């Protein structure tokens, strides 16, 4: 018996003005490359179950704005061709994201799964793993047999869920289970932080229900709020071993609990101005600041200027920011050379949500062309980078929009680690270890393409009624 595996993943922030093009996607096939861990997780289960596994194509792009039509159509065609060439096989597992949005294809995963189902027919077991930042659509559910969604944010369980996806898919192919998927829509949009309550207990409770009374898997789609799309929002998915009534009842019960918790599920955020005031008085170092409203991993531009302007206004120094996406500033720094003092215009170019550029006197500390660093034993092309210093703030600038401030990159900029600075800024949520290492951790909330203040966005297409836009969506 043979199982085929493939991946297609990106997340689309429709409020981001930077299009996602074909070149943004890393392409791999045969299970080698940056997505090897996934293939290994899928592959090990299959082998342990005595199945032959064939790893197919993987397309992966860092999140940004809408995927251009030709890019998605090319990827879809290539994926379908590789699936066709690998036939015959007895089951298919896919890792998809669940919030990929292309021009004329608002639900890429639903569209892709429909094409896969049309190709493979109704009897082929298809198991799909999705990110918890998912718009779980009817088209996805109708065209897959079993869907398993990450449970944790920050995501720490991707490989565990991959293994489950493969186990269930093989169980189905071997006739051991008949998966049925029940969905409940709590008519709300709320990110869920599972590192704090009540998200933690919620996930622990649904996990404890699995493996009993015919319940195979329970997932809560956290939603990806930054997409102006009818299906945006949380969803509860209960997969049972052919117990539709039980699944429906449980999905509704959990969904109502999620709705009751709607005000408490998001991350604990400190409004930017309040954060700046705390920093101006703070005596405990090192400080770690998460500029999560400009998180490149969530599709924001990575060049928002609200924080940097605030730091300058409040006279806060000893800051190290990793990192701004600003190719023009990097170019100027490279041309001027290390040691040069100059007037520089930084950030605010990716779109209106990034704010206006900031003008400042800086000294070029580092200017490196074509930086390649070691990342877990592999060469990693960071591209052109610079470190500029002004107002007591060190700003790392990247020509390539890249979301990984990896250790060797920091070293190239002259920092052994983030903790060399009194105050370090990262554009994304820090994991639990990083939070624990800092004397003070602030997850800042401000205007930007990843702001959690959803009322600040100009949504035109989302399905209504839906909380927080409608206080009582069930009335």
Query: CB of 150: closest distance to Zn ion in angstroms?
Result: 7
How many residues in the chain? 475
Residue 133 or 161 with smaller CB distance to Zn ion:
133
Give exposure, 62-91, as e/b (b: 16+ Cβ within 10 Å).
Answer: bbbbbbbeebbbebbeebbebbeebeebbb
Would you say 178 or 196 has its CB closer to Zn ion? 196
Handedness of CA 310, 313, 315, 321 (dihedral sign): positive
Q: Which is nearer to Zn ion, 226 or 418 (CB)?
A: 226
Q: Edge-to-edge strand order for the sheet containing 179-184?
A: 179-184, 235-241, 215-221
Residue 419, Cβ density class (10 Å: 0-12 exposed, 13-18 middle, ≥19 buried): middle
Minimum distance between the CB of residue 142 and Zn ion, rounded to whole angstroms? 23
- Nearest-approach distance from CB 219 to Zn ion, in angstroms: 13
Q: What is the spatial distance between Cα 136 and Cα 401, in angstroms, rounded to a whole number?
A: 28
- Of all residues in the shown chain, the one whose CB is closest to Zn ion is 133
Taking the least distance from each CB to Zn ion, the nearer of 170 and 265 is 265
Question: Measured from the CB atom, is 31 or 98 closer to Zn ion?
Answer: 98
Shorter beta-carbon distance to Zn ion: residue 25 or 150: 150
- Nearest approach, Cβ of 340 to Zn ion (angstroms)? 40
Separation between Cα atoms, residue 310 and residue 313, nearest integer Å: 5
CB of 298 to Zn ion, least distance (A): 8
DSSP letter string over 426-439?
Answer: ESSPPPHHHHHHSS
Q: How far is the CB of 134 from Zn ion (least distance, A)?
A: 8
Nearer to Zn ion, 227 or 330 (CB): 227
CB of 426 to Zn ion, least distance (A): 17
Q: How far apart are CA 218 and CA 349, in angstroms?
A: 42
Cα dihedral 449→454→457→460 (10° resolution): 120
For binding to Zn ion (CB under 5 A), which residues are involved?
131, 133
* CA distance linking residue 295 with residue 450, whole number of Å: 6
């Amino acid at each position: 018996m043979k199982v085929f595996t493939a991946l297609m993943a990106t997340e689309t922030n429709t409020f981001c003005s930077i299009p996602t093009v074909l070149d943004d996607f890393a392409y791999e096939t045969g299970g080698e490359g940056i997505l090897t861990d996934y293939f290994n997780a899928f592959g090990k289960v299959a082998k342990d179950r005595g199945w032959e596994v064939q790893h197919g194509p993987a397309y992966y792009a860092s999140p940004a704005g809408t995927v251009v039509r030709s890019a998605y159509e090319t990827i879809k065609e290539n994926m379908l061709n590789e699936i066709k060439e690998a036939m015959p096989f007895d089951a298919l597992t896919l890792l998809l994201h669940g919030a990929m949005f292309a021009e004329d294809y608002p639900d890429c995963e639903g569209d892709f799964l429909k094409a896969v189902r049309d190709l493979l027919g109704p009897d082929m077991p298809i198991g799909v793993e999705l990110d918890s930042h998912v718009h779980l659509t009817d088209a996805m559910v109708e065209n897959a047999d079993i869907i398993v969604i990450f449970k944790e944010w920050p995501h720490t369980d991707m490989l565990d869920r991959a293994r489950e996806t493969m186990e269930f898919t093989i169980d189905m192919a071997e006739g051991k289970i008949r998966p049925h998927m029940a969905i409940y829509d709590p008519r709300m949009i709320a990110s869920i932080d599972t590192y704090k309550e009540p998200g933690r207990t919620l996930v622990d409770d649904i996990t404890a229900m699995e493996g009993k009374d015919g319940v195979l898997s329970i997932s809560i789609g956290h939603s990806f709020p930054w997409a102006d799309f009818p299906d945006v929002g949380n969803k509860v998915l209960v997969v049972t071993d052919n117990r539709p009534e039980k699944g429906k009842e449980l999905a509704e019960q959990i969904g109502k609990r999620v709705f009751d918790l709607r005000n408490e599920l998001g991350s604990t955020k400190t409004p930017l101005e309040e954060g700046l005031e705390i920093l101006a008085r703070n005596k405990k170092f090192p400080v770690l600041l998460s500029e999560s409203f400009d998180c490149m991993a969530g599709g924001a531009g990575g060049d928002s200027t609200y924080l940097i302007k605030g730091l300058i206004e409040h006279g806060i120094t000893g800051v190290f920011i990793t990192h701004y996406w600003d190719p023009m500033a990097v170019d100027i720094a490279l041309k001027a050379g290390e040691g040069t003092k100059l007037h520089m215009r930084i950030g605010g170019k990716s779109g209106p949500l990034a704010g206006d550029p900031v003008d400042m006197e800086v000294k070029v500390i580092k200017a490196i062309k074509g930086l390649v660093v070691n990342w877990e034993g592999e060469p990693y092309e960071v591209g052109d980078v610079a470190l500029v210093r002004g107002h007591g703030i060190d700003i790392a600038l990247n020509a390539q929009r890249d979301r990984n401030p990896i250790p060797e990159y920091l070293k190239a900029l002259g920092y052994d680690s983030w903790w060399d600075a009194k105050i370090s800024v990262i554009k994304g949520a820090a994991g639990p270890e990083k939070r624990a290492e800092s004397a003070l951790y602030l997850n800042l909330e401000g205007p930007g393409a990843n702001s959690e203040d959803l009322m600040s966005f100009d949504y035109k297409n989302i399905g209504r009624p839906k909380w927080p836009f409608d206080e009582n969506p069930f009335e």
